[in-house]
Structure 1
């Protein structure tokens, strides 16, 4: 069935492409393209400068002006405007700085190493290995590019789903600067500034940029703590040196300081699950915690802590998002000859974070985590590229080295207080195996309760793992595009990667001294070849047709949260094979662009996490296995249009279908399930109109945006109570710009229809906990910008 559906989709795509090609060949009415038209967008998606319309990939790009018009302040905001892309903060215990990115249904929800992201994030060509702190501020950005589909040849490591390129602005040859202040709802105060100074004209320039962003949160706890707040300070210093016409040297340093209260979570339900600990906890541990913590008499962990207001949480446990992230990049390019360019990209980054989360969002310590994570990475990439004099051949070869060291300490409270309550019982009263009477008639049968009973330790679930990871990755890669005959170009590429990971874990239950995982070292090595074959045909000056076959992979690792020695085990890399066909076109004498891509992907050795209940103790079991394979297919279409002077229109639509082809019985999921974070439909519509005011009064720009997501599952089990129904968010902006464009005042609104939605959720049957991360409410802002 899937194969027939795919064949039908491919035939439909070919038919659409053929019809569009025919329409595009028709002569268009003459237009004054000096006053209107679509500006050319230059991207570096293939590691060389190309027009977006000449790049045979499914890629979306946004410049600084486009991001400002939509109030895009971090990576997470970008997803609303890109088809088949989801970006949120992922698992609740990852905090709000975590970037869980999914493209075409492929990504990673978890943040803890050795789990790796499935979509690579690159800043000025440097790969960012960890998702914590990757929800980056976009204050001083020239452009952001979103590449859909595996980028295993030119990008390589962990780009099985795609890649996000962030390109910062370079110091210029003229003195220039900008200061911007934004005030708004919930005491929002953002201050951003940058200045570019040429020290030696055309030779040496520097730039300094800084931003401070602050806003109160929108989910409030009883103690007044506001979750979902923003408190980010960021800065960047860059040097651009052109010692000669043949050399460019770019050195930059960036740093971010994040001090926030945590992601905007709330408890959405409590429940008793067969075999779980919900009832036992309420029977013997809740009275102890109630007396110890001074809670109202008779308190239990139940629905009394579920607020009817989505913007109220009853959590009382520690909550904190703290991260310090910094890095430096050095890029050196030498044009050795018209046919050869040599480029070196050197990067070093460090990250230190502490994430405290009360995941049950109640006064009871059902699930509390305190994560302290540190990481540093070094990478070196060397590229040789060039083109023949007739431009028929463009080629690039290179080598890559990456090294990472990471360390993590995670103090986790799970049904905390249960062990202490068991120790206070007068005798063994709690059967650990169904049908066993307590106290047991035969010594040694598993009944918990009573001081010193060794079986109590089986229900001591407060765990403290320490882990360390060292990763080394080497790769060689190359890609060449050759115009075989006029208008027909063949692209061949490949990357050979060798990766080793060395992992250490030492995990204990501090209360009882029971060992979760003894001190263990393990090392795994993987080798992988990711090829690409592509062909593109220039049907006319304004039409590019292309097709490609490519592969990608995501690193393997180890189960990051083993709660027993038996649960500690490794898993292998994921692999994906993708087929893509598309169209890039300019219509109506440059007044419109229409881009279309269809894809079919075979996603194998899927790393699936199971969240289940222990059959012996009722506690939590968390495992990760290569437990499935999935077929995915769909399409993306994007339109930009400027039909009349001053009017800009944009629309994008994405469709994604996923269907398991195999699924291990041990997951407990039916094969009919769907992937999480993979809505079938994504839609974005936008319109902007600018008109001049009389005389020298400047101009007004009115803009509106709509973003739609269809039904979205939030866990592999497709738990029905945490399914996000389809929702639509509407934004608007009104801006006045002076006639010299030196000053701008803008008023904007976000989520004007007050749509209620959540961006992430978890369903934990072992403890009867269901929570959600609440989407941003309606808010307004006033922005003042001065440029020179």
Structure 2
């Protein structure tokens, strides 16, 4: 969604720029009262306001929290023109956050990586590597995890394992979202945006006090835009947006020591499916020699039907054969804005949740918090997997997922505040059904089944003051996971029996179970400790060092084909043991960093370096058409982040960030994974960088003009573990700009925004399904222009 410019040396320039700020630290520490007063006057911008975070389950300044963290206020994101969480990666080092279409066609599916750790698959039997939390509640599934930003207080991106306080599935980090609580003042605000491709965004919020001890806050939004990939068969626009989101929050204060926060949120989407386009066809080749090549099989059938021989109608040397009507060839490779598919394509979802937080002040130094939540996800998705009128690959997906969680936190201070501590207990239960319909050139079958996940944990953490400037923090968490999967997978039709062996084998007959019709269970128990030492070297500088451990839970391989039949296609005779499962993966992370800020906030400079020992990687192992997960590798990830803010004069804010993620496999089995030891991690760029300039100019009469420009860079990355060049994305730069006006008193606002100024295109995500032999991808939109009008009461 931005301009694309090659700039291989830019990260080095960024690093030099950040280092060039270092001499300013001496000047900042010598800043006199005049500078302090000027800087204090500059603290009027929502973009620049100091942020309080809760990364350690208690409110702290971001500058005194010894964690590598990037945080944004809701007003700050609004000022930057960010209206959904998938744009956070543009302003956060070492973060990948893509709206990545799932295998079966969900438009809103979050692919999140922090410091190289994330999630390869999006089925509910495989866990994410980065946890997403909304008001302290874990959001288990990636579908719907790209959040439209309506009435948010702040977003915190925590880098590195958060296994002690947040728990499992946070080995890369966590994204914590906090919504706005009801206030004591009657107020309302609204905004409307219109732009390119009929972009229509409407948001509104009303805050209503209900006496002295209660308040209600209601917010809602609509997000709509025409798609930008046109299906040539029916004119349907893929990649559209058509979503409604809303939230109701109620705050009650029954007593001076008891607070109740009750919230309900919901999102509904009715969309045409992801903006997929066919990039190319992998004629005559698959990564795994055991995989039947569907495109080639189709092309053999097409030649037989045409009476021209028993060989493929298209090859790498001759990729276009218009003489054969049913040939799957380059006639269907139409560029990033067209798709020749004819199969159903839709992405419909309904997501809602209710949360109840009770906070009790048991004494001036002890507080008890209870967080109870229930969430529900209903989704129906479909897409054409080959991008043509032919039936080579078509997918449908249905998911019905429910989750319940309960967390207790006891927070306190002891020994006259020398010790701050937290004790907690956590329970999580998830259940549901995820069923996939798959129609291939050789077969039609149902995949998926019923799943049940349960997790229990107990944790504690304490921070002890060792003198006036040193703090030692230590924590420990024990987690017990219980998981179950009951496959409901069977052959619906054999579409290639007429080809003879091996396609006419009885194992492909209709009704044959792809996996045994039994429930399999796995259990895991893990301990995740953390130790941190922080030193307040001066009033302006804090340094820290941390060791932590995290784990991502194990699970089951849900997508399997051809059938695994005990004693027939596998030597395993036990039906339960025949269902593929895998164990947790684990990390040990070491981090050291510093946080510097002058008293006048002229300069803020935060940096951290890390080293991660990554073990028991959950790697996709290809044994035939569908991959299974195994613990088949280990890796080392190292790098750093640096973020700076400079406020040289009143109203001017200059921001910069630089991140390095250097990930490499220490051990990987090439024979079973087809991943070379020297391959890059999927979806992970080695370098990320960003910069922004904002100036607030007060006009006569008290109104304000705010020009803003920003830039983001991401170096080359691959979209799969095989490092397939056809779906690789070279390094690129993104630019956008805006001009905002706010009336005196802030009641009215008007903002013009331009994204992707140079109108360039780049590959946001890419897919190679080996058996289908098709390279697919989602490209960004072209240049977009929009205008937003806002009002506050």
Q: TM-score of the superposition, structure 2-length normalised?
A: 0.88
1:397 corresponds, among 423, 434, 439, to: 423
The residue correspondences of 1:648-687 to structure 2 (distance < 5 A) are 648-664=653-669, 665-687=671-693
Residue number in structure 2 paired with 1:304: 331
Residue number in structure 2 paired with 1:172: 183
Deviation at 1:19, TM superposition (A): 7.8
1:339 corresponds, among 360, 365, 371, to: 365
Deviation at 1:137, TM superposition (A): 1.5
Task: Rate the CA distance shift 1:287–1:645 in 2: closer, same or farther, 3 A.
Answer: farther
Note if 1:251 corresponds to 2:257.
no
- 8 Å CA contact 2:94–2:688 kept in 1: the answer is yes
Residue number in structure 2 paired with 1:547: 545
Deviation at 1:469, TM superposition (A): 0.8
Task: Rate the CA distance shift 1:18–1:34 in 2: closer, same or farther, 3 A.
Answer: closer
Query: SS of 2:388's equivalent?
Result: coil
2:298 corresponds, among 267, 281, 305, to: 281
1:492 corresponds, among 466, 474, 478, to: 474
1:689 corresponds, among 692, 695, 716, to: 695
Deviation string for 1:582-617 (max 9, x for gaps)?
1111037311210001000011111111457x4xxx
2:277 corresponds, among 255, 266, 269, to: 266
Residue number in structure 2 paired with 1:742: 747
Deviation string for 1:56-84 (max 9, x for gaps)?
00111111122112222222111111000
Residue number in structure 2 paired with 1:525: 523
Residue number in structure 2 paired with 1:88: 98
- 8 Å CA contact 1:101–1:109 kept in 2: the answer is no
Query: SS of 1:146's equivalent?
Result: strand
Deviation at 1:244, TM superposition (A): 2.1
Structure 2 CA distance, aligned partners of 1:39 and 1:181? Answer: 24
Deviation string for 1:131-161 (max 9, x for gaps)?
1111121112111111011100000021111
Structure 1 CA distance, aligned partners of 2:604 and 2:403? Answer: 40
Residue number in structure 2 paired with 1:46: 56
1:215 corresponds, among 225, 237, 242, to: 225
Residue number in structure 1 paired with 2:31: 28
Residue number in structure 2 paired with 1:705: 710
Deviation at 1:621, TM superposition (A): 3.4
Structure 1 CA distance, aligned partners of 2:25 and 2:275? Answer: 51
- 8 Å CA contact 2:226–2:240 kept in 1: the answer is yes
Residue number in structure 2 paired with 1:350: 376
Query: SS of 2:339's equivalent?
Result: coil
Deviation at 1:25, TM superposition (A): 8.4
Task: Rate the CA distance shift 1:366–1:477 in 2: closer, same or farther, 3 A.
Answer: same
Structure 2 CA distance, aligned partners of 1:79 and 1:45? Answer: 19
Residue number in structure 2 paired with 1:447: none
- 8 Å CA contact 1:119–1:159 kept in 2: the answer is yes
Task: Rate the CA distance shift 1:588–1:752 in 2: closer, same or farther, 3 A.
Answer: farther
Query: SS of 1:517's equivalent?
Result: coil
- 8 Å CA contact 1:384–1:397 kept in 2: the answer is yes
Deviation string for 1:198-220 (max 9, x for gaps)?
0113x100011111111101111
- 8 Å CA contact 2:158–2:173 kept in 1: the answer is yes
Q: TM-score of the superposition, structure 1-length normalised?
A: 0.88
Deviation at 1:229, TM superposition (A): 0.7
- 8 Å CA contact 2:598–2:604 kept in 1: the answer is yes
Deviation at 1:777, TM superposition (A): 2.1
Deviation string for 1:118-138 (max 9, x for gaps)?
111001000011111111211
Task: Rate the CA distance shift 1:296–1:336 in 2: closer, same or farther, 3 A.
Answer: farther
The residue correspondences of 1:349-748 to structure 2 (distance < 5 A) are 349-388=375-414, 390-415=416-441, 460-511=442-493, 512-513=509-510, 514-563=512-561, 564-565=563-564, 566=570, 568-587=579-598, 589-611=600-622, 614=624, 620-664=625-669, 665-696=671-702, 698-748=703-753
Query: SS of 2:754's equivalent?
Result: strand
The residue correspondences of 1:96-135 to structure 2 (distance < 5 A) are 96-135=107-146
- 8 Å CA contact 2:457–2:480 kept in 1: the answer is yes
Structure 2 CA distance, aligned partners of 1:49 and 1:250? Answer: 17
Structure 2 CA distance, aligned partners of 1:782 and 1:321? Answer: 28
- 8 Å CA contact 1:140–1:169 kept in 2: the answer is yes
Structure 2 CA distance, aligned partners of 1:634 and 1:288? Answer: 56
Query: SS of 1:661's equivalent?
Result: strand
2:167 corresponds, among 140, 147, 156, to: 156
Count of residue correspondences: 719
Cα RMSD for the two superposed structures: 2.3
Moved more, 556-565 or 521-530: 556-565
Structure 2 CA distance, aligned partners of 1:314 and 1:147? Answer: 42
Structure 1 CA distance, aligned partners of 2:384 and 2:221? Answer: 30
Deviation at 1:277, TM superposition (A): 3.6
Task: Rate the CA distance shift 1:289–1:692 in 2: closer, same or farther, 3 A.
Answer: farther
Query: SS of 1:462's equivalent?
Result: strand
Structure 2 CA distance, aligned partners of 1:367 and 1:54? Answer: 53
- The answer for unaligned runs of 5 or more in structure 2 is 1-14, 308-321, 494-508, 565-569, 571-577
- 8 Å CA contact 1:69–1:733 kept in 2: the answer is no
Query: SS of 2:87's equivalent?
Result: helix
Deviation at 1:764, TM superposition (A): 2.9
Query: SS of 1:284's equivalent?
Result: helix
- 8 Å CA contact 2:520–2:579 kept in 1: the answer is no
